[in-house]
Structure 1
Amino acid sequence: MQQNPHSSAAREREKKNPIEIKSEMEEETLNPEPETLTLQENNNGDQPMLDAADQNPNSSSSDSDSDSGSGSDDEDQAQQNLEIQTLEAELATNPSNYDAHVQYIQILRKMADIEKLRRAREAMSMLLPLTPSMWQDWAKDELAMGSGPETFSTVEKLYEQGVSDYLSISLWRDYLNFVRENDPSVKESSPAGISKERDLFERALTAAGLHVSEGNKIWEAYREFEQAICDTIDGTDTQAREKQIQRIRVIFQRQLSVPHVNMRSTLLAYKAWEMEQGTIVDTGFSDQDGISSHVAAAYQKALEIYNARVHFEEQISQHDMPEIERLEKFMNYLKFEQSSGDPARVQVLYERAIAEFPIASQLWLDYTSYLDKTLKVGRIISNVYSRAVKNCPWVGELWVRYLLSLERGHASEKEIAAVFYKSQQCTFSTLDEYVELFLTRIDGLRRRLSCPVEGEHALDYSLFRDTFQSASDYLSPQMKNTDVLLRLYAYWARLELHLGKDLVAARGVWESLLKISGTMMEAWLGYIAMEIESGHVNEARSIYRRCYGKKFSGTGSEDICYLWLRFEREFGSLDDFDYAERKVAPRLQELQLLRSKQESKLTEERENSLKKNVREKRKQASDVSDEQPPAKRQKDATQKQKKVHGKDYEVQNKAEQNEGKEMKAKGAKDVQNEMKEPVLEKTKVYADQCTAFVSNLSLKANNEHLHQFFSDVGGVVAIRILKDKFTGNSRGLAYVDFSDDAHLAAAIAKNKQTLLDRKLSIARSNPKRGKKEHGHTDQTGAASGSGETSNEPRARQGSDSAIKRKNTFAVPRNVAALGWITNKPKTQDPDDEKPKSNDEFRNMFLKG
């Protein structure tokens, strides 16, 4: 699909005031357009020749200048040919490149290559809109190349295409002047010619008559045309003259009822014209004196409408401001115009905005949305959508709305299919836009297949199937294992079954999806649901047998096993249920073991992480004053000095070394005391005296679910669902505290009952206790520590925190080893009660 956002820099816009346009028109009347091609053929009729002005035989240039000029022309020709080849190659690969089209046409027009120029313009107009100035150049070039009925018909078609692309007062005036000057029937003032020109003027007024700033030009041209006809009527034909005068009067009065610039000038012109006809005599001081009351009332109302819009017109006419600000001014103007409730004026203002900002996608979306709400159906809406997708083909929403608009307007299948084909050649920014486009097309085909349109042949069902296949081929590589692709295939299978009445084809759709997204449990369940809905229980059972052993994400592998058991309970015989249970049981055990290993691994990782954090904190706490304790710093300094002064220094500083040992022992003790506190704070202790341990809990279950599950038992005191420390998700495990053993026993009796499609495992919580004594005993059993048995409950982390917190690095000699028998009396040395430093232990071991 090709991308088609043409650059706004290449879009030429008419930003001239009325005075400049008028002066240019007068200059064109006096001096022919210099850019208009004036070509002559040579004797062979092959190549265009220069006109007489370029072939002046009296040229005063020398032969050398002529040669130099000829050489320069050859170089220019070669350069232009190279540019043409480059642009042709670019357009062959990317036919929607707007800038390349514009440059190609400009070079061909400069070279006067008529046939290539015509083909280039036609190719561009088929894909992209042309600016009003480009249509004007095309019409002038075609008119300059020939005359006669064929040329007139060709140019007339060009003007018709041009005025349908954008609203342009200048282009409409050129069109009206062209018909008046070149149509023989109009030039001869025949009834058919006059009628044709009037119809064209009425079309111009419908398109641009409500244009506040320039619409009066069309009205004035219309009056001039009718006045010219009036002047040709014989004075003796009073009836024909009066009829023509009345026609001019009606045009005047219609114009005065429309808000536009220079309304007062129009009113004065009307009064002067009426005075010429002898209808009124201007004797009053007011502009409205002498005219009929209904004309004065319509004029006054139109003047009030214009005055309410003057400031908006001034804002949007400021071409020197940034485009985004000017577009915002247009949007404000549109909101105000919509509040007035006149759809015709709103539509004209939208057309004015689009002519200025043709690739503003939001502007097109707002415009089409307004027409959908206001006009509902009609060719006007289809025409606007056709222009919208030409200007902004990269907006998928515009294509979707276009297809729906055609369907509402009862367009033919051929026309809708052509629009859908064009949309497939475009590039959209998101996959959702492609999905919505395919689904819109499929929806339309389904409606036509279900309720055929009168007068049309019945659609071939293969068209419906091919569209689904095309959507699958395009979306499957990018949307594998997504709900969107599942939705598309489920839609397809359902329509194959119900609309196409083809069960085999519906099964084929699901099998195709399983090849793409076989690891997606929802795909298998959708297939099973279709078979159950169709009453094919055996086929559904065979699908369960195919997929129960597959690995799905999350808890899908366990869920599919329980769903199979539920299916057999509801639809199968006892043998079927027993068979399913025999198949599912080992699979569930395998999954439970795998999950336990994963949880153990996760727990181990968390514990390692916790230990790492503790070590880091201990290191940080031990690093004081330049990352070292005072004794360490003093010892390091002493060692450095010893290297300098030799052995004599050791004798001189013996006292200082002993002092450093004492400081080091004191610092180590302080650090040890500081590191005990955070560990004790992080270890939350639970008694679990009357607690049930629940496993295989659904990850979606919360405290409320467990409360409701044990509501028939009662006595629930607290519920603690274990959650992952890092993700916060449930681990499928929980502790439920009960008020007494009776309630706990009743809760355990609910083992293997189901909660949220999961069979719960419920058992009494009986955590391992730590050692009953903190100290060591001698032969007689007397405790050498505190002498008290430990009843401390276990920590929920699963390890004996009491042991972890006890310093077992070194044991003093006055503590007997485990199992050692001695009759030596126990000494009570008060120094043994004091903590010893590492150096003191080291010296003690060395002495021993």
Structure 2
Amino acid sequence: MRQSLAYFLSCLLVIISFPLDQDPHNLTTVIHDSDSESDQSSPEVIEQHQVQQSDLGSVEQAVQHFQLASAELFQDERREHEDSDEQSRSPQAEQQNQMEASSDESQDGHNNTATEPLIQSEKLSDAGEQQQDPVQAQPPMVAEDSSPANMELEESKETEQVDPVEEPAVPTEPLIPSEYEKLAKGCEENPEDFNGWVYLLQYVEQENHLGVVRKAFDAFFLRYPYCYGYWKKLADTEKKHGNAQVAEEVYRRGVHAIPLSVDLWLHYLSFIKDNADPEDPETPSRIRAAYEHAVLAAGTDFRSDRLWEAYINWETEQERLANVTAIYDRILGIPTQLYSQHLQRYDWSRVTEIENMRHKVIELRQEVFNQNEQEVSKRWAFEEGIKRPYFHVKALEKTQLSNWKEYLEFEIENGTPERVVVLFERCLIACALYEDFWMKYAKYLESYSIEGVRHVYKKACTIHLSKKPNIHLLWAAFEEQQGNIEEARGILKSLEEVVPGLAMVRLRRVSLERRHGNLEEAEALLSEAMASGKNASETSFYAVKLARQLLKVQRSLTKARKVLLETIDKDQTSPKLYLNLLELEYSGDVQQNEAEILACFDRALSSPLPLDCRLTFSQRKVEFLEDFGSDINKSVHLQYLHPQTMSTFSLTSVLNSQLMTMNPYGMLALLISTMYSFSILTG
């Protein structure tokens, strides 16, 4: 199995490591046809690699590169841009820049406002290199000192010292509207209210206040990063304000947060093409690299046909027919919804001018197509059952959930690791609010990728399921298994802060400390839970846990007895307290502890416990005196008293069953009988 895991993620390692502005390697063989001669002199021709269908990578590679390496998806491009900018700064260019800066000082009043969005976009681009979590990325307010924007500012300052010019006042941002504060506060207090977020975003879109728009959308994406349409809305808003680079950064954050969104990738690619410099010779390479990253992230999705078609159409426009052939070779082996159309659109006349070779090539591709057709037919019923492939806060129908579960089981048993990972990622978009699917995904990855499991737990617990305890407990247990005790401790503590009062979380924190020898901390956690109990029942529950901890782990009978006795004084109607006190006394030497054991029985018999509970304690007291008693007088007295108590209890039970049918005189008789029973029982 491990040796049969490969294509998607091993190739991911190769392609994702390439920057967006360099030529990516193809995953399939490019057939050199009669048109390839015109492409050989072009540096954009993709190096040929033969894909072996039996060489199928590993789940560990799949997860690491599909989920984790996406954080580095776009970093190399920015580094390359910075390097090229630095190299282009020759002494002549520096001198020219200084002359331009000096000559433009008189226009600073007009340029300050226009420069500010550019500086902000540079800041966003620099911050993107450092961010690890895409949904938490926010426009930073401080740019790197070495950025081109800051270099221009420094040069401008130097020229100002030579020839100072009065600058007009920079227009200040408009005040934050009170209506925004009201809507934002509602979302902060109740982040699960999706309609509240919708109202907030609709409001800020109507207001001409870019800072408020960014603030609202960033807060929204921290909670709902899978809403791909809102990523486009924010990008459009930035573009409308003239911030093209910031808009591109928004798209980057979006495809990082939801890499399987074909729609978002298509919008992003259209944005890149619309804003590309046609005179720049590197533009085709950058666009091609963006397409490669798009099909790498979302190309194995069953509904990714539009993305592949867009890639093919663009390469056709560039007249790179060898690349078009290579793309067709890749898509013909991927089960997609419109798989048959790709074979129909394929121009076989481009393959080769040699007739015999053409037939051979067509035969090979037809064989791949036939195999792919079989794979599509196996999955067609499952795909037809997916009615809502996108994210929404509304609950899914039971049939939808069942379909996803059955589809996952089928893919795990029959599919490649690439397809299993992609299907899980697709499922978790539609079922992001169901912790069962997140736990199933983490369980699947446990044998292959530690970082992949951690990534799944982190994404689920910090974004989509922040108040679901079960998956948090599993995450903490996983980190403890890996030896990350502080991380496990922090997960449990954070969960308890978000969802206070859950006994399972407090007990898990106690057991964590106990397992690692922090007995004082475990005792302190239980004592704190007792003190902060909302009612007597909750306090008694933690008291029993603390007493057991003190007795069984810390070997302190005295402290355990003290905890139970003090709690009994506050809650005299809890049978569990008396039973645990009795168990505690029994755990020692019963002959030496006879007085304490009898005192425990007497305390229960004289308490306001229900009559049946006290009868049970009376019976156990008789048994104790018979087995371990040292005073015959106590045994004889209790043997005489207990049968009377039994008969009284039986009579009382009969009368209680007739209570509802009795007249007032019958109820009075029952009351007298009950009082007589109490007098006998208590002596």
Q: TM-score range by the shorter chain?
A: 0.5 to 0.7
Q: Which residue of 2 aligns with 1:545?
A: 599
Deviations 1:516-549, CA, capped at 9 Å, x for gaps:
5432333222233234435586557425414414
Match of residue 494, structure 2, among 413, 421, 432: 421
SS at match of 1:291: helix
Asked if the contact 2:225–2:258 (Cα under 8 Å) also holds between the matched residues in 1, the reply is: yes
Q: Distance in 2 between matches of 1:420 and 1:308?
A: 46
* 1:680-699 matches, cutoff 5 A: none
Q: In the alignment, is residue 559 of structure 1 matched against residue 616 of structure 2?
A: yes
SS at match of 1:339: helix
Q: Which residue of 1 aligns with 2:372?
A: 302
Match of residue 450, structure 2, among 362, 378, 381: 378
Asked if the contact 1:494–1:506 (Cα under 8 Å) also holds between the matched residues in 2, the reply is: yes
Query: Normalising by the residue count of structure 2, what TM-score does the alignment of the two structures yield?
Result: 0.57
Query: Which structure 2 segments of 5+ residues have no match?
Result: 1-113, 118-166, 671-676, 678-683
Q: Which residue of 1 aligns with 2:332?
A: 256
Deviation at 1:258, TM superposition (A): 0.9
Match of residue 528, structure 1, among 582, 596, 602: 582
Match of residue 267, structure 1, among 343, 347, 372: 343
Deviation at 1:415, TM superposition (A): 5.7
Query: Normalising by the residue count of structure 1, what TM-score does the alignment of the two structures yield?
Result: 0.47
Q: Distance in 1 between matches of 2:335 and 2:577?
A: 63
* 1:235-246 matches, cutoff 5 A: none
Match of residue 299, structure 2, among 209, 226, 234: 209
Q: Distance in 2 between matches of 1:158 and 1:413?
A: 35
Deviations 1:568-607, CA, capped at 9 Å, x for gaps:
55556x3xx3575488579758846864873696699799
Q: Which residue of 2 aligns with 1:172?
A: 265
- 1:306 alignment partner AA: V
Aligned residues: 494
- 2:375 alignment partner AA: I
- 1:331 alignment partner AA: S
SS at match of 2:361: coil
Between Structure 1 and Structure 2, the one with more strand by share is: 1
Distance 1:135 1:595, change over 3 A: same
Q: Which residue of 2 aligns with 1:510?
A: 564
Deviation at 1:497, TM superposition (A): 4.0
- 1:253 alignment partner AA: D
Distance 1:446 1:583, change over 3 A: farther
Deviation at 1:211, TM superposition (A): 1.3
Q: Which residue of 2 aligns with 1:811?
A: none
Match of residue 522, structure 2, among 455, 464, 488: 464
Q: Distance in 2 between matches of 1:521 and 1:317?
A: 53
Asked if the contact 2:300–2:335 (Cα under 8 Å) also holds between the matched residues in 1, the reply is: yes
SS at match of 1:369: helix
Deviation at 1:102, TM superposition (A): 3.0
Deviation at 1:168, TM superposition (A): 1.4
Asked if the contact 2:476–2:487 (Cα under 8 Å) also holds between the matched residues in 1, the reply is: no
* 1:346-365 matches, cutoff 5 A: 346-356=420-430, 358-359=432-433, 361=434, 364-365=435-436
Deviation at 1:110, TM superposition (A): 1.9
SS at match of 1:45: coil
Deviation at 1:302, TM superposition (A): 0.9
Q: In the alignment, is residue 112 of structure 1 matched against residue 112 of structure 2?
A: no
Q: In the alignment, is residue 332 of structure 1 matched against residue 388 of structure 2?
A: no
Q: In the alignment, is residue 368 of structure 1 matched against residue 439 of structure 2?
A: yes
* 1:114-263 matches, cutoff 5 A: 114-129=210-225, 131-142=227-238, 156=249, 159-160=252-253, 163-165=256-258, 167-175=260-268, 189=282, 204-205=294-295, 207-214=297-304, 216-220=305-309, 251-263=327-339
Q: Which residue of 1 aligns with 2:535?
A: 477
Q: Distance in 2 between matches of 1:128 and 1:470?
A: 35
Deviation at 1:468, TM superposition (A): 3.2
Distance 1:335 1:48, change over 3 A: same
SS at match of 2:549: helix
Q: Distance in 2 between matches of 1:505 and 1:294?
A: 80
Asked if the contact 1:167–1:352 (Cα under 8 Å) also holds between the matched residues in 2, the reply is: yes
Distance 1:384 1:476, change over 3 A: same
SS at match of 1:257: coil
Distance 1:89 1:307, change over 3 A: closer
Q: Which residue of 2 aligns with 1:795?
A: none
Distance 1:48 1:315, change over 3 A: same
Asked if the contact 1:337–1:346 (Cα under 8 Å) also holds between the matched residues in 2, the reply is: yes
Q: Distance in 2 between matches of 1:382 and 1:259?
A: 29
Deviation at 1:394, TM superposition (A): 5.3
Distance 1:110 1:596, change over 3 A: closer
Q: Which residue of 2 aligns with 1:741?
A: none
Distance 1:607 1:382, change over 3 A: closer
Q: Which residue of 1 aligns with 2:170?
A: 45
Q: Distance in 2 between matches of 1:218 and 1:470?
A: 57
Q: Distance in 1 between matches of 2:328 and 2:657?
A: 91
Distance 1:600 1:209, change over 3 A: closer
Q: Which residue of 1 aligns with 2:183?
A: 87
Deviation at 1:510, TM superposition (A): 3.0
Deviation at 1:382, TM superposition (A): 4.0
Asked if the contact 1:489–1:510 (Cα under 8 Å) also holds between the matched residues in 2, the reply is: yes
- 1:339 alignment partner AA: F
Q: Distance in 2 between matches of 1:270 and 1:607?
A: 88
Deviations 1:272-314, CA, capped at 9 Å, x for gaps:
4852xxx465689xxx944276544332111122234345444
* 1:575-590 matches, cutoff 5 A: 577-578=631-632, 580-581=634-635, 588=642
Q: Distance in 1 between matches of 2:346 and 2:481?
A: 45
Deviation at 1:132, TM superposition (A): 0.9
- 2:526 alignment partner AA: F
Q: Which residue of 2 aligns with 1:817?
A: none
* 1:316-327 matches, cutoff 5 A: 316=386
Q: Distance in 2 between matches of 1:579 and 1:226?
A: 104
Distance 1:445 1:600, change over 3 A: closer
Deviation at 1:410, TM superposition (A): 5.0
Q: Distance in 2 between matches of 1:471 and 1:329?
A: 41
Q: Distance in 1 between matches of 2:555 and 2:171?
A: 65
Q: Distance in 2 between matches of 1:536 and 1:229?
A: 93
SS at match of 1:563: helix
Q: Distance in 2 between matches of 1:536 and 1:250?
A: 85
Q: Distance in 1 between matches of 2:254 and 2:550?
A: 44
- 2:300 alignment partner AA: L
Q: Distance in 2 between matches of 1:607 and 1:136?
A: 72
Q: Percent identity?
A: 16
Deviations 1:214-254, CA, capped at 9 Å, x for gaps:
2x3444566678889996xxxxxxxxxxxx95x87655433
Q: Distance in 1 between matches of 2:438 and 2:657?
A: 60
Asked if the contact 1:210–1:345 (Cα under 8 Å) also holds between the matched residues in 2, the reply is: yes
Q: Distance in 2 between matches of 1:462 and 1:124?
A: 42
Query: Which structure 1 segments of 5+ residues have no match?
Result: 1-37, 50-76, 232-243, 451-459, 613-723, 725-731, 733-848
Distance 1:137 1:405, change over 3 A: farther
Q: Distance in 1 between matches of 2:499 and 2:258?
A: 20
Asked if the contact 1:461–1:500 (Cα under 8 Å) also holds between the matched residues in 2, the reply is: yes
Deviations 1:59-107, CA, capped at 9 Å, x for gaps:
xxxxxxxxxxxxxxxxxx9xx9453343244345435433323322332
Q: Distance in 1 between matches of 2:430 and 2:225?
A: 13
Deviation at 1:329, TM superposition (A): 4.7
Match of residue 291, structure 1, among 357, 361, 371: 361
Q: Which residue of 2 aligns with 1:809?
A: none
Distance 1:318 1:500, change over 3 A: closer
